Structure 1
Amino acid sequence: MKVILVSERGGISRSFNFGGLSKALLSLCLLGLPVGALWVGANLPAAESDVFDSRAVKAWNKALRKQQEEITEADRQAREQLTALTVKLAEMQARLTRLDALGERLTTLAKLDEGEFQFGSTPAVGGPEDPGIAGASDMPYQPPEFIAAISELSDQIEDRQMQLSTLDTLLASRQLQDEQFIAGRPISRGWMSSRYGYRTDPFSGRRSWHKGVDFAGKSGSDVVSVAAGVVTWAEDRSGYGQLVEINHGNGYKTRYGHNSEIKVKLGDVVKKGQIIAQMGSSGRSTGPHVHFEVYKDNRPVDPATYIRRTGR
């Protein structure tokens, strides 16, 4: 094989002669280079593509497993919360039932007008329609059923609590009035020994005005308040001996004289029927008894009217 090389400048040419072995090597090199380039070009991107796809698939699988675990955990928590809400709903229903029963019982005991307090019925509500946000009425929000049930129960319980609060205030006011209502005798044991009005004075023998009533009994017997009030006197007083005076409000006050011992002090708040002293014969007295007086607007009135009263 003969190869001739020609120069561009001088037109000089050279020739080379190759033998059989050289010819084979040269042919192999000339043919192998293109084939090798084609093989590398075909296989190198595929290898790189295989590596990229394998890594991506592993990453996607890992992300999917993590998302599945998160979904499973969220589902478990949602079921637990739903169970807790169901239990809470049952508790609220039981509470509402007890409130209704209590309210109806108190209404009966208080002898209130029928219909004034309505326990066990849906609260009455109303009002003008609120236009709200434009377009919102076209697609109203629909909460889940159990959320709506809890909201309804909450409104009913709030209504019952408001009614019970009003009823409690009403009963407390009525109880206070009952406590302040003067009625009954100021002693636990004994008898009436002198009435209100004119009588013969036991010391002078002259006709005199007696502005209270006397209850005789055993020395040391209990003297009780005929109504709730505040102690405005609890010590010795001329003619009364050891005296207890109680202000009951609304212009009323009572006096308990001739005690042997006083059980309360100035400023004490006393209840109806509370022991305030022990019967004695202190002061201007002929023997163990209680001198009982009732005042209305600072004027003495006949205690018999109040003694004969019965509690409200």
Structure 2
Amino acid sequence: MKPHDIGTLPGSVLYAHIPSAAGKELAFYPVYLGHYMCDTSYCVDRRTFDCFMLMYITHGTGYVETEGRRRTLQEGDIVVLDCYAPHRYAATGDGWEIEWIHFDGPMARHYYELAAKNGCVLRMAGHYAATHSLRKLLTLYKDRVPAPELRLSKYITDLLTDVILCAEESRGQAQQSAVVEESIRYISDHLDRDISVELLARQAMLSPFYFSRLFKRETGFTPHRYLVMVRLDYSRYLLRSSPLTVKEVAFRCGFNSESHFCTCFRQQLGMTPQEYRDEQ
């Protein structure tokens, strides 16, 4: 059906579903779903609406307000809302295009709480699997394909499960990046100390094997290779700007001997530390 919401543009579609008594006993059932193109006059402001909502911003920008807090929205974001509580969302900028579903069911609140445990806005750009089931639902209604209510429940289950898993994956990647960043800070702050992969892994509470794989995935270098590179970079700075002897530079940068320092320096730069200093 054609939506009548203020701000919806031609081409927008709205579908309604009236569940049977048996359908309401399933884990999930759809209430409304749609695909909207909107200008900046589009705004929804409700005290309550008896269901939950998942909205995917396919293009454009907007915002959502819940619990007195406003969050900006951009292309690729997914919003999960408890519409039983006051909420407001609107298009901004040049408007937006959204795909969305209102749903409910015995498992709706539990899945909503899993999806929104770290906030109702999920940054999902690039996680296309998370919206695949929503597109399947919209296509069913667009093509007027009869579907058993059990299948509709399955699609919503798949949709919410994919969103939750993709959100967990994104949070896990952010946490892993934070682990590597902390190790890099430690290396920079303690260059003159004996730093081993085992020490860094222990601080990150990871096995040396897993830590090394994670570090290389994030930086492109093994921890040992990165450590040597940073030490050599600092040694070049000291050779250029300080009166320290080559031996003093070696120990200041964490090398355990002058000969080891000179070997690493030559391998990296094709000359000895003294030759490098003389060229400056």
TM-score, length basis structure 2: 0.29
TM-score, length basis structure 1: 0.26
Q: Larger C-alpha radius of gyration, 1 or 2?
A: 1
Which one scores higher on RCO, CA 8 angstroms, separation ≥ 6? Answer: 2
